[in-house]
Structure 1
């Protein structure tokens, strides 16, 4: 595929999972070009050296408005629409990994974007919870027929896209709107990106395809996920033509968690350490546990800062 690469968006607290994500890409997809879209400042030298990843961060983003207004939770991966190193790209959240040849869905001949196809319908309550306040959309964007696309809205942790399909001015308008009306769009970029996508579809500006790109871990019983994604000590055991991105969009796949099936992510985190730092056995386990502990500390600090800010 020409002028194409995969971008993994991450920050300091989820870089541990980005390592596993990138290792899974190398395992299943070979030498496809890779980039890290980084919110923050932390060393990624080992990944640059081992996997040849490009780095997109605040230091090299060319658009001033993106440097100043589009880093942080719920906005960072939007930068890819204008700053992707490639015309066509796949965007992945850090807490994902690929399983199988997901590139078979990258049909840029017919579509500008290829997004996930939800496996269920949304009630008004679900639309309001996960995407946007319905009354707010009807009030501020009366020309948008949100009902028409209600069963197409999706979790934006995984998608294929083409650079510059949205204008930067359109995005700035969305940023301005969300600052004035923070209650309308939900879950970071998930609400307003779905709005941007399907408003553009309605207006005939872009073509969007939908495929079964993503498995949302919280939507399935843990035993069912174990059966669908079996692991052995030597690695994954792909079944038939299964190709998807596993997305831990709820509880995270840390090493010792019992809340979710984390074996696939744990395997690829170990693989990353082996391939980049030569660590195996006990030293590798200690390194992974230290990463998990540091993540816990970072997440706790973040929650504490938000609580303090809310009290001011």
Structure 2
């Protein structure tokens, strides 16, 4: 099974550096196999950028890192058209998004105008500059990081942009044993730059195609749709998950099934991806925010109230 082999190769490679976080790595690689963009959000020092770099270096295609800062311009991301006097022609100079894997580091440090340069390419896999569309390489994946607690000099990602990420993951603090391994790896100078690609682009394309072709029963599709719809009716939610959220649940469920060597989706696959797929798509009511409710709590409540189908098929 091509997808399962690709998952194992990438996951094993990433975990040479990212220690003690197998479930986070599993979900991150699942997002890649679903050809979905990934947002890694956590406090400083927990390895967000390290995880993103390890994912990028494990894939044998092109990858670019874009360090978002307040002075970054949209053209730095999409590219610009430049007039060359020698040839008397306008030529397009591609920006940072023209790669198979794009690492958007500290994405919330870019201004809203700069952030919006990612909207078209994340949704349509192309950019339009001076009324001309340019296709980016396939597959195309954005792995973005952001720090949710440091507000000075940052610009909150708008809901339209958050909705374009298939998953949002939090790395979390490691346990004692894992942290010891992290420190030992650093002392031995083992980092993302030491990783070699373990999968080439044609193989990754085949794995993505295989994931897209995974069997998912109509009852499980309906279950995913009912979960997304239930977030719209929750008392603590002002704006719930859109149909894009339902699609994301199905795609992520297919990819998660592939990580276990299955070409069919079960209700447990949908449950396992519900929180990372749905939580960043919810906008809570002011009362819920004042009461310090969290989107993840809402997703957990929805999972507890929406009945799952009894079997996969």
- Structure 1 length normalisation: TM-score? 0.30
